Structure 1
Amino acid sequence: MNDANNLNTLKGNILTPNGWITGTLTFGERLAGIDGDAADPAGNTDDYILPGFVDLHVHGGAGRDVMEGGDAVHAIAAIHARHGTTSILATTMTAPPEDIDLALTAIGAAVRQRGKGEARVLGAHLEGPYINSGKLGAQPNFARAATLAEVKRLEALAPLRVITVAPEIAGHLPLVRELADEGMRVQIGHTLGSYEDGVAALEHGAAGFTHLFNAMSPLHHREPGMVGAALAHAQFAELIPDLLHVHPGAIKTALRAIPRLYCVTDSTSATGMPDGEYMLGRHTVQKCMGGVRLPDGTLAGSTLTLDQALRNLVGLGLDLADASARVSTHAADYLGLEERGRLQTGAWADIVVLDRDLKLKAVYIEGERVDLNDA
């Protein structure tokens, strides 16, 4: 931690795990202290000081795609940092083994060395290839069944913090338990599985659902499907709140049903870029009018950033503290990260400062101020 002579201070409405404090936040690489009084931010016009955002599903940004390998992850981490995201999971696509190896090798290097102005890369979200070929969504058709030996080989290339699987595939249900026992978060996604398949996967150690509602069997009152399993039983699930992937009414339903629903961007290389053609793994996708689609019109990830996700949630009626938890704290808790996603003494100094219109004014990652000029 920086010594006392090198500490920074911020003043405003500070969101702590115990509620709002109007006062001063002191920090170096980690948070050194919070001084002030409990107060409702509505009683003043000061800035909001929130935990940095945590995004567990990031495919790209700034014209770069995780599957490129090389330095792409660094460029992606940088553009998301300029939108308030202080930690990410770099997310792979379903692809041939050599493509996944290339991406994970680069992710592993980025985990070991964070560049200046970049979000911290916590590891990888392996979104496929262990999915159902009948529910690919925007994934290329390289789906295959998983084996523990292969997953362990991939884990040697980069920390696999989250793995998406379709539990109805033969052999996957016992594997869910084995992966959970290895400390990985197994998510249900890109699945044609039934409600019963979802319940069984949760009983075997699955912990969440990948982009809830999208690329999974839907809710019907006589066939609840995978969505029904999530709404009835999940403690955690990720959701894309760009207002294109999920209707606001469905978002509100999930918010009432799933206690620790958290938001992800599922962002692509088109994030932060003008309309045009971009790559998503081996797919060419088209960005137009804020959306990203395959040639057949299928949604193919998003151009969302988590600062906009926060504003969308508040626009749907969430209070700011609840919205903040859903773009930071719940995702950190899902990974068991007690020192991220919250403003408390000893935690990493991952901080966002917003004005009263919820526009970013400053971002700090592990105490380092990010240059927002290119945002």
Structure 2
Amino acid sequence: MVTLLRGADICAPERLGKQDILIEGQQITFIGDLPAEAFDGLPNSTVIDAQGLTATPGFIDPHVHIAGGGGEGGYANRTPEILISDIVSAGVTTVVGCLGTDGVTRSHADLLAKARGLEAEGISTYIYTGSYQVPARTLTGAVVDDVVLIDKVIGVGEVAISDRRSFQPTVEALAELVSQSHVGGLLSGKAGITHFHVGPYSTRLAPLHRLLDEYPIAPQAIYATHITRSPELLADAVDLAAKGAIVDMTAASTTTESLKRYIDLGGDLSRLTLSSDANGSLPQFDSDGRLIGMDVAKQTTLYDQVWACADMPGMDLSQAISLVTSNTADVLGLERKGRLRAGADADILLTDDNHTIQLAFAQGREVVRNGTPQIHGTFE
């Protein structure tokens, strides 16, 4: 199939103005101005009038509990698997799945199977090996082996620090874990990152600073999330990003305030991403560590907050879109994702002035039309 998107205002994420986008199969093969006669009589071709719509890359969500998560309040608090329709309705065309707190009743075999299922249903998927705990639980017995031998494994995570639910690893143990993932990435041509869950405890990012200060760790191998828990943690994240690490904000109602503070503190926007934590549990604990409330993170929060950031005074659309496209693709080592350009995967959102997704493509396949998902899971 050949599809021509005619006259969209392209944010690739850099602003390209109104141009045409040619999709052949799963790829973008041309961006520019194509004469109408080029499509006259061409079989299996479709021309779509995209004038008045903004074209952006499909969003990349680097932190999704695709097979469910949680369990901090007992077996009845295990969150459900995510649905493909929920993912694409939020403009997300690529996800990275993770386990989280529960690496006991949740397995990497389930995580891998769920990732393959979502890909069969129409989006791109990757996973982290490991979970909160250290030593890491893996599929093969070693982090480096998982990264090298399993196609979908691009790193290890989410490894918990500064949290009561962490296994309280030593910095030396973290150094070994990060190094295994990094070397696995070198051997397999993958990102080889270590994705850190950062809790609310006062140590904040101190273990990660020590990794960079005391060990020969590549800064770009460290990827810390949940950095908006407190003003102090956010300031610490700015310092960590200045050393070359990558930091990630979990989308929430306060994302715009957090982003403004990050910018005001001199934070490097090129080293910042946004994620949803979708289908992960959102437990609330009292001062004694007792569970007092539970909620579930939603994929749509990410979509809403990206556009809220884009509407911030002084924030350019390209900057906001980069937080869920090109920045994330660079962190995860996904060369064919996160940008609208010839040779990239045809993951494309077309949105109107109200930020409604009028059309979305995942690897050239239409997955959303007029705000309604066009693909559904087998049992939806």
TM-score of the two chains, using structure 2 as the length reference: 0.70
Asked if the contact 1:54–1:331 (Cα under 8 Å) also holds between the matched residues in 2, the reply is yes
Which structure 1 residue ranges, 5 or more long, are not aligned?
38-44, 131-143, 270-279, 287-293
Give the 3-state SS of the residue equivalent to 2:308 in structure 1. Answer: helix
Q: Which amino acid is 2:107 matched to?
A: I
What is the aligned partner in structure 2 of residue 213 from structure 1? 228
What is the aligned partner in structure 2 of residue 59 from structure 1? 65
Give the 3-state SS of the residue equivalent to 1:78 in structure 2. Answer: helix
Aligned partners of 1:103, 1:46: CA distance in 2, in Å? 42
Residue 247 of structure 2 is aligned with which of 210, 214, 237?
237
Asked if the contact 2:13–2:56 (Cα under 8 Å) also holds between the matched residues in 1, the reply is no
Residue 124 of structure 1 is aligned with which of 117, 124, 127?
127
What is the aligned partner in structure 2 of residue 333 from structure 1? 330
- Structure 1 residue 59: deviation in Å? 1.9
Q: Which amino acid is 1:151 matched to?
A: V
1:364–1:147 CA distance, 2 compared to 1 (3 A): closer
- Structure 1 residue 336: deviation in Å? 1.4
How many residues are paired up? 314
What is the aligned partner in structure 2 of residue 313 from structure 1? 309
- Structure 1 residue 12: deviation in Å? 1.6
1:229–1:348 CA distance, 2 compared to 1 (3 A): same
1:160–1:9 CA distance, 2 compared to 1 (3 A): same
Q: Which amino acid is 2:227 matched to?
A: L
After superposition, what is the alpha-carbon deviation per residue over 1:78-116, rounded to whole angstroms, capped at 9, x for unaligned? 3211221111112222214352234324235337x521x
1:351–1:194 CA distance, 2 compared to 1 (3 A): closer
- Structure 1 residue 229: deviation in Å? 4.1
Aligned partners of 2:275, 2:318: CA distance in 1, in Å? 17
What is the aligned partner in structure 2 of residue 190 from structure 1? 198
Asked if the contact 2:130–2:137 (Cα under 8 Å) also holds between the matched residues in 1, the reply is no
Is 2:259 aligned against 1:262?
A: no
What is the aligned partner in structure 2 of residue 114 from structure 1? 120
Aligned partners of 2:233, 2:100: CA distance in 1, in Å? 26
1:208–1:337 CA distance, 2 compared to 1 (3 A): same
Aligned partners of 1:79, 1:219: CA distance in 2, in Å? 30
Asked if the contact 2:61–2:274 (Cα under 8 Å) also holds between the matched residues in 1, the reply is yes
Asked if the contact 1:84–1:306 (Cα under 8 Å) also holds between the matched residues in 2, the reply is no
1:177–1:147 CA distance, 2 compared to 1 (3 A): farther
Is 2:258 aligned against 1:250?
A: yes
1:322–1:127 CA distance, 2 compared to 1 (3 A): farther
Aligned partners of 1:152, 1:78: CA distance in 2, in Å? 33
After superposition, what is the alpha-carbon deviation per residue over 1:107-133, rounded to whole angstroms, capped at 9, x for unaligned? 35337x521xx3221x11357222xxx
144-153 or 98-107: bigger deviation: 144-153
Asked if the contact 1:54–1:86 (Cα under 8 Å) also holds between the matched residues in 2, the reply is yes
Asked if the contact 2:307–2:355 (Cα under 8 Å) also holds between the matched residues in 1, the reply is yes
- Structure 1 residue 33: deviation in Å? 1.1
Q: What aligned pairs does 1:86-101 form with structure 2 within 5 A after superposition?
A: 86-101=93-108
Give the 3-state SS of the residue equivalent to 2:228 in structure 1. Answer: coil
Give the 3-state SS of the residue equivalent to 1:12 in structure 2. Answer: strand
Aligned partners of 1:8, 1:51: CA distance in 2, in Å? 16
After superposition, what is the alpha-carbon deviation per residue over 1:245-304, rounded to whole angstroms, capped at 9, x for unaligned? x5x4332232440332111111127xxxxxxxxxx4xx9x79xxxxxxx96246653453
Asked if the contact 1:77–1:88 (Cα under 8 Å) also holds between the matched residues in 2, the reply is no
Residue 358 of structure 1 is aligned with which of 355, 362, 365?
355
Aligned partners of 2:205, 2:357: CA distance in 1, in Å? 41
Give the 3-state SS of the residue equivalent to 1:7 in structure 2. Answer: strand
Q: Which amino acid is 2:354 matched to?
A: D
Asked if the contact 1:108–1:158 (Cα under 8 Å) also holds between the matched residues in 2, the reply is no
Structure 1 stretches (4+) deviating beyond 6 angstroms? none
After superposition, what is the alpha-carbon deviation per residue over 1:210-262, rounded to whole angstroms, capped at 9, x for unaligned? 12233x99449xxx7x5464354345221123224x5x433223244033211
Give the 3-state SS of the residue equivalent to 2:360 in structure 1. Answer: strand
Q: CA RMSD in A?
A: 3.6
Asked if the contact 2:112–2:127 (Cα under 8 Å) also holds between the matched residues in 1, the reply is no
What is the aligned partner in structure 1 of residue 12 from structure 2? 16
Between the aligned residues of both structures, percent identity stands at: 18
What is the aligned partner in structure 2 of residue 161 from structure 1? 154
Residue 23 of structure 2 is aligned with which of 24, 27, 47?
27
1:166–1:92 CA distance, 2 compared to 1 (3 A): closer
1:107–1:234 CA distance, 2 compared to 1 (3 A): farther
After superposition, what is the alpha-carbon deviation per residue over 1:128-169, rounded to whole angstroms, capped at 9, x for unaligned? 222xxxxxxxxxxxxx43378443576567733242334671
Asked if the contact 2:178–2:193 (Cα under 8 Å) also holds between the matched residues in 1, the reply is no
Asked if the contact 2:178–2:194 (Cα under 8 Å) also holds between the matched residues in 1, the reply is yes
Residue 347 of structure 1 is aligned with which of 317, 333, 344?
344
Give the 3-state SS of the residue equivalent to 2:247 in structure 1. Answer: strand
Aligned partners of 1:86, 1:201: CA distance in 2, in Å? 33
Aligned partners of 1:189, 1:66: CA distance in 2, in Å? 14
Which structure 2 residue ranges, 5 or more long, are not aligned?
35-50, 72-79, 162-167, 186-191, 285-289, 374-380
Aligned partners of 1:217, 1:197: CA distance in 2, in Å? 18
- Structure 1 residue 369: deviation in Å? 0.7
Asked if the contact 2:53–2:353 (Cα under 8 Å) also holds between the matched residues in 1, the reply is yes
What is the aligned partner in structure 2 of residue 174 from structure 1? 176
